[in-house]
Homo-oligomer: A and B are copies of this chain.
């Protein structure tokens, strides 16, 4: 019954955060063999505990490709963020330099770069899957996750935040924005969502708190860099005085949805899936 390819060994190219480890665990539960290519300076050591793995610098493309082939990987998933380096600090090997020479580096936003990386991996003969294809049902559904729902003010902030976030996404700058009472407290660029939330704590105004709105970029490569939230996002949002989190339904990976809902309920925040398509 099972497609033989889905039973083959899964390669996980692991950046930061909890998503890569979640993939490892999902594969274990499904009895699927994995090999983790852990990106140096990005992947959490916890990701590769008790798993076949190798560490590899981000710019060492030739070594990375060789490691994946030697470990019999055909299906591949890219998971977790990478603090995007400058071309200098990337220290590209000949294979990476060849790739950048063809696609350009400086002209590419994050999403453009990831799309090019996915295309390059497929050209090398790998099949690239989205993390959600491996995890199954972990994309955000529409509606509230926990017991709390946005009130009228929060709904207005969410609608405005969604409009702003989509415009930022169209520029390939970031996925997230924080809005409080109609004021845009902060927009995400390269610092990432966690840092955005942290700095908005200091920008908070009196009265009803702000909301974090996170959506995918238009045309975003679905198999890499999907918007992702988890329990840690809720904890940070609560600490920053936010009232809630709105994420794009059908597009956002939610790590530990039960834990997210429980954390939201206990902190008095809402977490809601919006604008599903």
Contact = CB atoms under 8 A, between A and B. Distances in A.
State the copy count for this chain: 2
Contacts of A184: 109, 173-174, 189-190
16 contacts: A86-B183, A87-B181, A88-B206, A89-B205, A105-B182, A106-B156, A164-B171, A167-B171, A168-B187, A173-B184, A173-B187, A185-B189, A185-B191, A186-B191, A190-B203, A191-B203
A109 B167 CA distance: 15
Given A86-B206, A171-B167, A107 B183 contact: no
Interface string A115-156: 000000000000000000000000000000000000001001
Contacts of A186: 189-191
Nearest to A105: B182
Secondary structure dominating the interface of A: loop
A182 B107 contact: yes
B105 A207 contact: no
Contacts of A180: 86
Interface residues of A, number: 36
A208 B87 CA distance: 10
Given A88-B206, A190-B203, 19 more contacts: A84-B183, A86-B183, A86-B206, A86-B207, A89-B205, A105-B182, A106-B156, A106-B181, A106-B182, A107-B182, A164-B171, A173-B187, A174-B184, A174-B187, A183-B190, A184-B189, A185-B189, A187-B187, A191-B199
A108 interface: yes
